[in-house]
Amino acid sequence: MLKKPWTGRFTKKTHELAESFSASIDIDKRLYREDIEGSIAHAKMLGKTGLITKKETERIINGLKKIQKEIEAGKFPFREEYEDIHLNIEERLIEMIGDTGGKLHTGRSRNDQIVLDIRLYLRHEIDEIINFIKTLSQVLIEIADKSKDVILPLYTHLQRAQPVLLSHHLLAYFEMLKRERERYLDCRKRVNVMPLGTGAGAGTSFPVDRQYIADLLGFPEITKNSIDTVSDRDFLIEFISTSSSLMVHLSRLSEELVLWSSKEFDFVDLGDKFTTGSSIMPQKRNPDIAELIRGKTGRVFGNLISILTIMKGLPLSYNRDMQEDKKPMLDTVDTVKSCLEVLTEMLRNIRFKSENMKKALLEGHITATDLADYLTRKGIPFRQAHELTGKIVKYAEENDKDLLALEISELKRFSKHFEEDVFEHITLEGSINSRKSLHGTSKESVLKMIKENKRDIAKW
């Protein structure tokens, strides 16, 4: 007969509805590795401090290792009656090695135990996410390096604005990812703090060696207040917040791929591997993967709202509400990693249509700013140059011409300062090469950025 660890106080069984409602084993069984890792470190500490014998320590550790093998072989008997991963493992340990297994919980509570599991889990997953970010960043640099001569329209307000190098455009996302990596690294510092040994919230009367456990598990710090330790989920909120920021940028890139793959833009071919067809319209190839990344961003935002709402009204210290922290955490981890992985592979298979980009550049007077800049360099105040250029654009539109198609005689009607060399400045290449300000879109500048970014990422 299954026996709850708290049956000494209770005379009646938990109602089956309450038992099912309060169980979390279906979710937190994913934390089995971390739970066993933490329990092994705790057992070693109990042995070191003399709270259990050396023989008992060995039996507990060997039992825990056998349990891990059972779980990984799919042979572990998970039981909803034991609610969570902690009690499932502990009760199985007692089944295997007898009463000695019951000594493992000396000096700890499930309150500090679960915080340890989460911190160990997140520490590993942050490292995984950072590696995915690095791989995606490398792919962006590789594409930028191959696209040094490809020009596309830069859009503002979804209107064609100025010509830029495709490499420059892609490197903008590299900068976003670089910031996200830094945010995860910073977040990891606050995740990487050892909580075990604080008990249910008041600490423990047993002579536990918290620093020893921290050393065993590779934590550079230990938490400073036992009440804060068991009630704190700030590090988890920060992780999901950081992940939300990352998803914003993945969604923005995905949105551009959706737009660029439409016939209205036709700047990219996403290929068959990362698109799907229509159930009714045979001609269609839909950018579903990019759309799903865009859509899954909302899930991560929802997870952030969920954990914030869970925590916002809780008095100190532990409350059962906090059991609900695992779903938003695990879903965020899964969503972020899958989005990073699929987007990276999609970009590896993408084909940019440079001719269509160039065609779009030849419409819409996209070098008008360069015309105004030309007049400014001739001594005309920029505001006047801007106004004159606006009048020239209006004239070109009325005559169904692009700026590059205007004759010098037509330009001189608006200003005597125009000379034949003006056409060197308002070509696409002339516009690009003139943007020599530090980190602008000139080829010289972009080549430097590619080189700098390659050097930076080699240190990641």
pLDDT band of 363, cuts 50, 70, 90? confident
**Residues 344, 258 within the same domain:** yes
**Does one domain contain both 233 and 332?**
yes
Query: Would you say 304 and 295 are in contact if contact means Cβ atoms under 8 Å apart?
Result: no
Residues 340 and 412 in one domain: no
Same domain, 92 and 138: no
Domain boundary among 64, 88, 106: 106
Contacts of 162 (CB under 8 A, 6+ apart): 153, 154, 366, 367, 369, 431
The reply to whether 460 falls in a domain is no
Active site (annotated) includes residue 306: no
Which one from 20, 22, 262, 278 is the annotated catalytic residue? 278
Q: Say if 393 falls within a structural domain.
A: yes
Q: Please answer whether residues 334 and 128 qualify as being in contact, where contact means their C-beta atoms are separated by less than 8 angstroms.
A: no
Q: Tell me the average pLDDT across 44-66.
A: 98
pTM (2 d.p.): 0.92
Q: Does residue 287 lie in a domain region? A: yes
Residue 39 annotated to the active site: no
Q: Does residue 3 fall inside a structural domain?
A: no
Confidence of residue 3 (pLDDT cuts 50, 70, 90): low
Which of 333, 353, 373 is the last residue before a domain boundary? 353
Q: How far is CA 303 from CA 59, 207, 244, 336, 366, in A?
A: 40, 39, 9, 12, 42
Alpha carbon distance 80, 91 (integer Å): 12
Q: Residue 441 maps to which CATH number?
A: 1.10.40.30
CA angle 314, 38, 19 (to 5 degrees): 50
Do 119 and 251 belong to one domain? yes
Same domain, 367 and 421: yes
* Structural domain harbouring 390: 360-455
Whether residues 233 and 288 share a domain: the answer is: yes
- Shared domain for 23 and 87, answered yes or no, is yes
pLDDT tens figures, 151-164: 999 999 999 999 99
Tell me if 161 is assigned to some domain: yes
Structurally, how many domains does the chain consist of?
A: 3
Going by pLDDT thresholds of 50, 70 and 90, the confidence category of residue 5 is low
Mean pLDDT of 82-104: 95
Domain presence at residue 310: yes
| Position 271 pLDDT exceeds 70 | yes
Please say whether the dihedral angle defined by the alpha carbons of residues 31, 33, 37 and 42, taken in this order, is positive or negative. positive
Catalytic residue among 15, 157, 409, 437: 157
The whole-number average pLDDT for the span 58-85 is 96
Instruction: Give pLDDT, residue 103.
Output: 97
CA angle 389, 395, 396 (to 5 degrees): 90
Q: Quick one: 344 and 369 in the same domain?
A: no
The residue-averaged pLDDT of 59-70 equals: 98
Assigned token pair, 193: 């703090």
Asked if 85 and 28 touch (Cβ cutoff 8 Å), the reply is yes
* CATH number of the domain to which 85 belongs: 1.10.275.10
Provide DSSP, 292-304.
Answer: HHHHHHHHHHHHH
Mean pLDDT of the chain: 94
- 392 band by pLDDT with thresholds 50, 70 and 90: very high
Of the residues 42, 71, 106, which one is the last residue of a structural domain? 106
In a domain, 345, yes or no: yes
pLDDT of 385 over the 70 cut = yes
pLDDT in tens, 211-251: 999 999 999 999 999 999 999 999 999 999 999 999 999 99
Q: Would the pLDDT of 1 be above 60?
A: no
- Distance, in Å, from the CA atom of 314 to the CA atom of 302, rounded to the nearest integer, reads 20
How many Cα atoms sit within 13 Å of 341 on the Cβ side?
8
210 belongs to a structural domain: no
267 shares a domain with 384: no
Q: How many Å apart are CA 320 and CA 325, to the nearest integer?
A: 10
Residue 73's H or E segment, with its range, is: none
Q: What is the pLDDT of residue 4?
A: 63
Residue 62 sits in the same domain as residue 157: no
Q: In the structure, what pLDDT confidence band is assigned to residue 2 with cuts at 50, 70 and 90?
A: low
| d(C-alpha 324, C-alpha 311), whole Å | 10
pLDDT at residue 404 tops 50: yes
Verify that 130 and 255 share a domain, yes or no: yes
Percent of the chain, pLDDT > 90? Answer: 87
Q: Are strands 159-165 and 193-194 parallel, antiparallel or unpaired?
A: unpaired
Helix (H) or strand (E) holding 284: none
pLDDT digits (tens, 9 = 90+) for 199-208: 999 999 999 9
